[in-house]
Structure 1
Amino acid sequence: MNSVDLNTKNALLLKEYLERLGNGEALESVQKDFRETFGNADAEDIVKAEQILINTGTSTAQVEKLCDLHSSLFHDQPAPSKAKAVGGPLKMKTIHSDGCGSHGHNYEEMPSALLAEIVGHPLNILTLENKELEGRLDKLQAVLDAQAPDSEIEASLSDLMSLAAHYAKKDELILPALKYYGVPGPAVVMWNVDDQLRDANKKLLAQVKQFGDDPAKMITIRADIQTMIDRMREMIFKEEKILFPMAEKYFTQEDWVRAYYDMPRFGFSWLEEVPIWKEAGPKPVVQPAVASNQVFGEETLIQLGGGNLTLAQLNAMLNTLPMELTFIDDQNISRFFSEKSDLFPRPTSSLGHEVFDCHPPKVLPMVKRVIQQLQSGEKDVISIMANKKGRKALVRYMAVRDADDEYLGVLEVVEDVTDLLKAPTSSQADM
């Protein structure tokens, strides 16, 4: 059977399992049959079958259920040989068994990405953050089990808020790049789940603060915290045993170097000292968009409608503006973003790719609608207020057109207006 027929057959089997779940059959029962059917399959074969379902309209929620079934294959796995990691994409085949049980992962016996062992490598940094997360989840679990005071629960949940930086790096640097390589399945599922876990942590922290003195409400809140702990542990498992090995297979050395230098844009979770990747080499430059025989230096004079600026002056001026800029061209390709982007950091790997590949599934309909309204001329500017990192941001999407009113693309302008909104009216000067 050729690979196309195999993927189609696998997709039909996965659809059957989804229907069984939809009809109310217990997850454990479906997992048992799933493991018997796919126990010796390569992870990539399952992902390709899942992709067929995605392409034929299977909802994200259903694919998330498949992801839970998929991860059940990786429990109680034999350890892989410790081959030496070399530069470039690794070709590592994951060996599966039909081990039973869907909880209590034995990480020491699980196949992991070999690049995660290289000090300072992006996968090493993400794995170190997962170890920090595991310790904090253990502490929170102990607090719950001991029926400790709610103040201790609040402190643990507050500490977990730093997890957002870990998920941001994964969501922006790993998931979109896999989509570029034709493996969008992890992005479809994980991005949404990461958002759910971030939101759950924030919501539960607020509830503990509000209802800490209400024993009846705290029973439900504690149960929800337990669910969150379990889901966060499962995400660690899916990252280290499914996502990271898959990225290791597809990413080139250049991909990893770009990810390494982009990581500080998104921050780090709990790492007091971020290890240095000595083999990374120099920071890569953005690929020039001009022909090789055209020379543009820092002192190159650029003719603009309102005057002349050198390339150095223009670049410095854009970086000085108290706002974050992103430009998407008329083909929906990401072309530019401000280097200093604190509220909405962008990875350099997004440049040259469709903007739709750089957003989580839940916001894609909004992104497409905004671009359609601006491109069609229905609107010239669309403005929204957003909460980001504890700050208030005014986000404006503007249609960019030339002198002949031809559409050139969309300019996103993000302005931190937190302090402006707090300022008293009397502080506004008359102009």
Structure 2
Amino acid sequence: MSELINNSRFRKDKLKELILKLHDGESANDVRQQLIESLKNIPYGEVVEVEQELMQEGLPQEEVLNLCDIHGSVLEGNVDLSGAKEVPQGHPVDVFKHENIAIKNVAVKTRALLQALDEVQADEYERYLLALQGLFNELMDVDKHYKRKEYLVFPYLEKNEITGPPKVMWGKHDEIREQLKACIEILKTPDLTRNDLADSLDLLFYPAIQGLVDMVQKEEEILFPMAMDVLTVEDWWKINKQTLEFGFTLYDPQTEWKPEGLISEFGDTDETAVKDDGNIQLPSGSFTAKEIMAILNTIPADMTFVDKNDKVKYFTQGKERIFARSRSIINRDVRLCHPPGSTHIVEKIIDDFKSGRASHAPFWIQMKGKFIKIEYFALRDEHGEYLGTLEYSQDLTENRALEGEQRILSYGKPKEE
């Protein structure tokens, strides 16, 4: 029997047989026990091959999608990862994995808060709903994680004739996104009662969270090990170079991955924003990408750019920031970057800017003994078309204390910083 169990074809046929038992309605617990008894551990690559074979043999994609969660739970802990490749720090898969840790952490917090519904006092209920909405807004950030898989990783798998699993996984992405959107819409419902929320927990809220957690398992046990085997270093380098177009999910990578000796059509990281001869040409002059980055990061203010589609696209990285920023906000809807209680103000500013009713919204606050001015500016082209919004924040504490004059001729030895 041992020589049969070690045979790949035997294992795949047995796994296919067990999945089809799920299709025929057999208990997931019974199938899991049969799996443990007959196969124990299955190489991750064979799970992918079986899923693809089932679709090629006529099992509809929709049916595989319906079975996905069930056979995923059956396989949990029974997939053999001993042959998986090591993932370098900063590699796209390493980033995905760190994002998964963050996703699971937020999912745990969200589930715990939902379970505490019965303990929430009446006078705390509104704040409770705002806290839940904030957590689900964070979970909705998984959209960027999924889009990087769909538009960057899946095409390379399909080039290698691995088409079934990406289709199934994309279907699960869409399902999870719709569930999360529905959760947020319910939480934004005016006068949402405790009973109405409670009635939705098992129907929508818990399944949405479980879907996120299950997807993490599918990625960690099957997708990522398989993709590491199939994709080349240059494939991953091209994926890495395009990642910022989509943004990160709840995580700001701390390490840049640069495979040594790789000649890529995309060039090195430091040159990705440089055009033609190395200069960015504007009507009033030119500079290199490094020069403009230094200029923007030296200006004594925090600047954040939100494009015309309300996505955060850029922020300065000066030495002393007023408000903390992480690259995980890149490509995120600006509304989700503010506390739920102030979202309506953000929406009004954007609406006023887009409509042309306003182009400037100034505010100032006292914060930790400092006087902070925060200004929003509408950005428009030469034809007046709205391009986006610039958030500009300054610490004006020292400026407000200035008196008299200090002319340029009085310049002396710079103060030590």
> TM-score range with shorter-chain normalisation?
0.5 to 0.7
Aligned counterpart, 1:131? 101
Say whether the 8 Å CA contact 2:104–2:213 is kept in structure 1.
yes
Counterpart in 2 of 1:114? 86
Which amino acid letter does the alignment assign opposite residue 34 of structure 2?
A: D
Q: Does residue 285 in structure 1 map to residue 255 in structure 2?
A: no
Q: 1:252 and 1:61, CA in 2 relative to 1: closer, same or farther beyond 3 A?
A: same
TM-score after normalising by structure 2: 0.56
Residue of structure 1 in register with 2:61 after alignment: 60
Letter in 2 for 1:51: Q
2:210 to 193, 210, 230: 230
Q: 1:73 aligns with which of 67, 72, 75?
A: 75
Question: Larger C-alpha radius of gyration, 1 or 2?
Answer: 2
C-alpha displacement at 1:162, in angstroms? 1.3
2:41, 2:113 → 1: CA distance?
Answer: 40
1:267 to 218, 236, 247: 247
Report the equivalent of 1:50: 51
Of residues 14, 17, 41, the one that matches 2:16 is: 14
Contact 2:52 2:163 in 1 (8 A): yes
1:255 to 235, 239, 243: 235
Specify the alignment match of 1:39 in structure 2: 40
Call closer, same or farther: CA 1:159–1:277 in 2, change over 3 Å.
Answer: same
| Aligned CA distance change for structure 1 residues 35 and 342 (closer, same or farther; 3 Å) | farther
Return closer, same or farther for 1:254/1:78 CA change in 2, 3 Å cut-off.
Answer: closer
Cα distance in 2, alignment partners of residues 72 and 24 from structure 1:
14
The answer for the alignment partner of 2:144 in structure 1 is 165
Indicate the residue corresponding to 1:357 in structure 2: none
Closer/same/farther in 2, CA of residues 113 and 222 from structure 1, 3 Å limit: farther
- The equivalent position to 1:144 in structure 2, one of 109, 114, 139, is 114
Deviation at 1:73, TM superposition (A): 3.0
Unaligned ranges ≥5, structure 1: 81-91, 93-111, 288-297, 300-311, 313-340, 344-387, 392-417
Q: Is the 8 A contact 2:41 2:78 kept in 1?
A: no
Distance 1:240 1:42 in 2: 13
CA 1:239–1:16: 2 relative to 1, 3 Å: closer
The one of 190, 197, 201 aligned to 2:176: 197
Aligned positions of 1:75-90 closer than 5 A: 75=77, 80=82
Q: Which residue of 2 aligns with 1:242?
A: 222
**Could you give the per-residue CA deviations for residues 23-77 of structure 1, whole angstroms, max 9, x where no partner exists?**
4332222332244344344232232232222112211232231564255334167
| CA pair 161-67 structure 1, distance change in 2 beyond 3 A | closer
Q: TM-score, normalised by structure 1?
A: 0.54
The one-letter code matched in structure 1 to 2:243 is M
Q: Which runs of 5+ in 2 are unaligned?
A: 121-127, 268-275, 282-306, 310-330, 335-349, 357-382, 385-417
Q: CA RMSD in A?
A: 4.0
Measured at CA, do residues 274 and 220 of structure 1 come closer, stay the same or move farther in structure 2, by a change above 3 Å? farther
**Superposition deviation, residue 202 in structure 1:** 1.1
What's 1:207 paired with? 186
1:78 is displaced (CA, Å) by: 8.0
